[in-house]
Amino acid sequence: MLKIGIIGDIVGRNARQLILRILPQVRKEHKLDFVVANAENASHGFGLSIAHAKDLLCGGIDVLTGGNHSFDKKEICSLLADSHLQEQNPILRPHNCSKELEGSGLYISEVRGERLAILNLMGHFGMPHCDNVFVCARDEVQRLHERGVSNIVIDIHAEATSEKRTLFEMLKGDVSAICGTHTHIGTDDLMIENGSAYVSDVGMCGALDSVIGMESDAPIKRGLSGMGHIRFEVSKSERTIFQMIIISLEQGRAIEAYKIRYVQTLGWLPTLEAICIPS
Ligand SMILES: [Fe+2]
C-alpha cells in the first residue's frame, strides 16, 4: 500500500514557511510515503525560483508540479531542461505544453518497491495554448499501463471544473487519482469511484484573507475599473491555510481518501473524508 499526500497551489512566502514548518509532522502522523505539491505560484505568487524549489524539495515534498505560471521565473528552465538535474530536483511542467518548451510533465519514481507515476496536465479554458489535454492524458496513461505502471496520480491544472470532471469520467478505473489545482479554492467533491480518487480542486496553501492568495485591493481596483494591467501582490496576511488530500493506494487503486486542513491561528480543522462508491 502507498499513501500519497497532495498539496494544491503554494502561494508565496507565508505558505512556503507554513509547509516547511508542519510538513515533517504531517508526513509522520499520516504515514505518508510520497508528497506532491503544485508550486507554480510559490515564488512571489508567480513562478518558482530555483532556491524556493530546493527549499520545498528538501522540506518534505517529493515532486513539484506546475501550470500556467511554470515558466514565469526563467531561471527554473535550467532545472526543467536537464533530465539529470531533474532526477535530483523533480520539477514538472504540464505534459501537454508545447514540445518546444523545456521539461516534462511525467515523473516516475520507485516508492517502497512500487512504481508511482505523477502526471501533470493543463486544461484549456482561460489557459495558455497547449496540446489537447484529453488526448495527451489518454495516450500517456495507456503508455504507462503498457510499461506496467499502475499507480498513476494526475494533477490537472485547469480553470474549468467541467474539463477536470471530463478527464475523471474518461479515466476513472484506469488511474489512481485525479486532483485538480489552479483555482486555489478547495472543492467539496472528494470521492472514490472505480478505484480512482477525484477532487475538482485541492485548494491552495496561502493567505485566507485574500483573493486566491493575493492582496484584495488590486483585484477590487481591477474589478471596478475593468483595467487588466493592475499588478497583483501576494497577501501578507498571517492567516494561512494548509490543505492536503491524502489517498491510500493498493495495487494502483484508491481505497481511501480524505482531506486535512490547518489554519495558522486557528489550528487543525475537522478532517473531510471521501465517500467511497464501491465498483
Ligand atoms: Fe495556475
Residues 6+ apart with CB under 8 A from 27: 5, 35, 60
* Contact by Cβ (8 Å): 208, 12: no
**Domain enclosing residue 81, as ranges:** 2-277
Helices (H) and strands (E) in the chain, counts: 7, 14
229 noted as active-site residue: no
Q: Which of 30, 44, 52, 69 is flagged as catalytic?
A: 69
State the distance from the centre of ligand 1 to the C-alpha of 39, rounded, in angstroms.
9
State the distance from the centre of ligand 1 to the C-alpha of 251, rounded, in angstroms.
31
List pLDDT tens digits, range 83-130: 666 677 899 999 999 999 999 999 999 999 999 999 999 999 999 999
Residues near ion ligand 1 (CB < 5 Å) are 67-68, 182
Per-residue pLDDT 10s for the chain (279 aa) are 999 999 999 999 999 999 999 999 999 999 999 999 999 999 999 999 999 999 999 999 999 999 999 999 999 998 998 766 667 789 999 999 999 999 999 999 999 999 999 999 999 999 999 999 999 999 999 999 999 999 999 999 999 999 999 999 999 999 999 999 999 999 999 999 999 999 999 999 999 999 999 999 999 999 999 887 788 999 999 899 999 999 999 999 999 999 999 999 999 998 988 777 655
State the distance from the centre of ligand 1 to the C-alpha of 182, rounded, in angstroms.
4
**HSE value, Cβ hemisphere, 13 Å, CA-based, for 126:** 9
| CA–CA dist 188, 200 (Å, integer) | 8
List pLDDT tens digits, range 25-58: 999 999 999 999 999 999 999 999 999 999 999 9
Number of domains composing the chain: 1
54 — phi, psi (to 5°)? -65, -40
State the distance from the centre of ligand 1 to the C-alpha of 38, rounded, in angstroms.
9
In degrees, rounded to 5, the angle at the alpha carbon of residue 63 between the alpha carbons of residues 59 and 64 is 90
* 234-257 exposure pattern, b = at least 16 Cβ within 10 A, e = fewer: bbebeebbbbbbbbbbeebbbebb
What is the CATH number for 24?
3.60.21.10
pTM of the model: 0.95
Q: Can you read off the three cell numbers belonging to residue 44?
A: 512571489
State the distance from the centre of ligand 1 to the C-alpha of 236, rounded, in angstroms.
20
Quick one: which of 122, 103, 119 has its CA closest to 182? 122
* Contact by Cβ (8 Å): 262, 269: yes
SS3 95: coil
| CA–CA dist 147, 93 (Å, integer) | 22
